[in-house]
Amino acid sequence: MYSTKIKGVGHFVPDNVVTNDDLSKIMDTSDEWIQERTGIQERRWIEDGSDENTASMGAKAARKAIENAGLTKDDIDFIIFATLSPDYFFPGSGVLIQDMLDMPTIGAVDIRNQCSGLVYSISIADQFIKTGMYKNILVIGSEYHSGALDKTTRGRGLAVLFGDGAGALVLSRSEDPSKGILSTHLHSQGEHAEVLTVKTPSIRHWVPAIIAAGEEDTSYHPFMDGQKVFKHAIVRFSEAIDEGLEANKLTAEDIDLFIPHQANLRITQFVQRRFKLSDDQVFSNIQKYGNTTAASIAIAMSEANEQGKMKDGDLVVLAAFGSGFTWGSVVIRW
């Protein structure tokens, strides 16, 4: 059986920077309030009127990842696209990438696991590569949150959290069992599906029903029970990391770099204390980008790589928790 190496990384974020002070001008909030609760200082939002979208950001990140891997688009055998904000209800955005990058008619699949989407995508790609089915898989996480946020005081609890952006990875076949992805671990708990959700439009409650209900219907805006999400997140993050370490007979002391889903700096800090990790062992960029959901880990990996944070032989641990609930971890020997 082959092993799976992360051969290339890349990311793209819009140029438009939206600071906490900018938000305080359109809703009742403040820089102090946002930073105290989330650690976020600014985020990137696609500008109104721009042609940028989920797939186009993903394509830009993908081109960088493919170049970073030393490959060409024709070397890619399969596409996995993770997002909660696809350009269309259907088809998925994966096929749009195949067209935008002018690739051969390779397969493309979309993953709808929200904040855990990148971890799930890596796990799926890992199985395809280890079994020999594919040699080079393009994994993309991309999110266009700003177009769907309620940017008023009513929606501030979520509007301050989310940013737009995309990250991409190239996972490739390797014959070195000591390097690459050591293991992946995935979980879900659907009883909590409505704790963090966008309920409509859905087949049960389609656009005419939303229009007919007028302003009384806010089901098309994201909803989150923040306290419940936080309480579950700190438990599941820790469990997923423990599971990955135990599966590989490792301990927290073996971790060289922990890259979590960038959900909330307070969650990351809690997990950091739980595993007694130093600041140098944890990579966070939520301060600059906010929560970019399925894109966050890939963006963080790309920046960490640019900064030389992941060195040959380092043990890198990824972990995510999000809507569903879904969560998981990936253990990598870089």
Give the residue numbers annotated as catalytic, written as ranges.
115, 261, 291
Spatial separation of the C-alpha atoms in residues 228 and 260, rounded to whole Å: 19
Spatial separation of the C-alpha atoms in residues 98 and 39, rounded to whole Å: 36
User: What strands, in cross-sheet order, belong to the sheet with 78-82?
Assistant: 3-12, 165-174, 136-143, 78-82, 107-111
Spatial separation of the C-alpha atoms in residues 333 and 97, rounded to whole Å: 29
The number of C-alpha atoms within 13 Å of 314 and in the hemisphere containing its C-beta is 17
What lies within 8 Å, CB to CB, of 282 at 6+ separation is 257, 258, 260, 268, 272
SS3 content of the chain, % helix, strand, coil (to 5): 40, 25, 35
Spatial separation of the C-alpha atoms in residues 300 and 167, rounded to whole Å: 8
* Torsion angle, alpha carbons of 200, 98, 119, 50, to 10: -50
Other residues' Cβ atoms within 10 Å of the Cβ of residue 296: 29
187: which strand partners? 327
**Nearest of 190, 143, 218 to residue 323 by alpha carbon:** 190
